[in-house]
Structure 1
Amino acid sequence: MKKFFVLLVLFALPIIAYMFFASGQNNFAKLPVLTEGVNDVSEFEDFEGKSISLEDKISIVAFFGENLDDLKGNTFNLDQKILEKYYEFDDFQFLVVLPEDTRQQAENFKNEFSGISETEKWKFVFGPPEAIAATFKSFNTPHKLQGTYTPYVFIIDKDLNLRGRDDDEDFEKVYGYDSRSVAELSDKMNDDVKVILAEYRLALKKNNADRKNN
């Protein structure tokens, strides 16, 4: 019975993984690059005064401004519809960029959510408003910051490129995803995160196969 169970798991897991990634609308196509070479966030500091980089990670980046109490709904939507599905991936991170004077708010906010989410996997970095504005500007999107806040969140790949859609049926181009909209997160963003994760995993498999053949 144990042997049968092990064989079943070994056989079923690859199929489940394939179906998970293949369920995306883009179905293994590369997620389009909309902006190349965005600014890294390594100049900012986290709670411990350390720097965090976007390089070599698939990052969901949020600019959630000064009043974090107003953003509980946005973050809850994002966590439930996107983040909790992908926390297990080592090369995936959720990064919130905030102004310096929100450190205590952010810590309270993170602690409050710790009972219903894996907040230890959220990363917060802090910097002056002008540096935040410069980072956001480098994304080169049609969206605007309201101070240091936007409800839109962005997918940045390992090479510091902003990914999104260039032929969306509703908006034509999708640079960011509205964290206030459960439908947009569930449909468009979830689909696109699947695609970019599948893209990197296929590339890794190909590289490993090439090394073995060589």
Structure 2
Amino acid sequence: MKKFLVLLVLFALPIIAYMFFASGQNNFAKLPVLTKDVKDVSGFKSLDGKLVSLEDKISIVAFFGKDLDNLKGNTFNLDQKILEKYYEFNDFQFIVVLPEEAREEAEKFKKEFSGISETEKWKFIFGASTEVEEVFKSFNTPHQLEDTYTPYVFIVDKDLSLRGRDDDEDSGKVYGYDSRSVAELSNKMNDDVKVILAEYRLALKKNNAERKNN
């Protein structure tokens, strides 16, 4: 009987463990979709003339207006607390949507920070103020855009859906993350970026496994 119990435990434990972890993967917490079909930015002009799009990328999107001080402070916070951790991911990008009149300041700012940050990974795009507002409105958030500026930054997935939190313990829903708050970037936003990247990595592994089996 003892041998039988030992064999049963040795046989059953790996199966139970597998089922536990498999269940955890299948029920892996996904970052909630808050808004679908946000407007793409492919019609905007970039600093380097290359096409920039939200499609097929996990994007951090910012609307930092015309004030260079806002652009400097908010972008530097993001770079130090979020972006530098994820630059290695090819499907990850940081996009700053600006009005055309901010182009010169953006160029100066990028050069100024090129020695201390990976500014080549930042994508500044420019359009008319009305175009900037149209993109922002498509996010359908409770935040306001004041003269093309908001301190909040947003996570947009590869399918042009805005991601965030729908049951946050502090504020209920989180549509965007305050780039002025180091604590919010370090905690909530960093956690949520990890979740969405893990979500896509898991989906990629599953697709690769299915292809091998087929």
User: What is the alpha-carbon distance in structure 2 between the residues aligned to residue 171 and residue 70 of structure 1?
Assistant: 24
User: What is the alpha-carbon distance in structure 1 between the residues aligned to residue 57 and residue 44 of structure 2?
Assistant: 17
Partner of 1:83: 83
Partner of 1:202: 202
Q: Determine which structure has more spread, i.e. the larger CA radius of gyration.
A: 2
Deviations 1:91-150 (A, max 9, x none): 000000000111111000001111110001000100000011010000000000011000
Query: Aligned letter for 1:161?
Result: S
Aligned 1:12-91 pairs, distance under 5 A = 28-91=28-91
Partner of 2:117: 117
The percent of aligned pairs where both chains have the same amino acid is 79
Change in CA separation of 1:128 and 1:54 when aligned onto 2, cut-off 3 Å: same
Cα distance, 1:44 vs. partner?
0.3
User: What is the alpha-carbon distance in structure 2 between the residues aligned to residue 70 and residue 86 of structure 1?
Assistant: 23
Deviations 1:29-71 (A, max 9, x none): 1000000010000010101333310000000000000012233
Query: Aligned letter for 1:56?
Result: D
Deviations 1:148-187 (A, max 9, x none): 0000000000000000000000010000000000000000
The 3-state SS of whatever aligns with 2:59 is strand
Q: What is the TM-score normalised by the length of structure 1? A: 0.86
User: What is the alpha-carbon distance in structure 2 between the residues aligned to residue 181 and residue 28 of structure 1?
Assistant: 28
Gaps of 5+ in 1: 1-26
Partner of 1:107: 107
Give the number of equivalent residue pairs: 188
Check whether the contact 2:61–2:95 (CA below 8 A) recurs between aligned residues. yes
Query: Aligned letter for 1:53?
Result: S
Check whether the contact 1:58–1:155 (CA below 8 A) recurs between aligned residues. yes
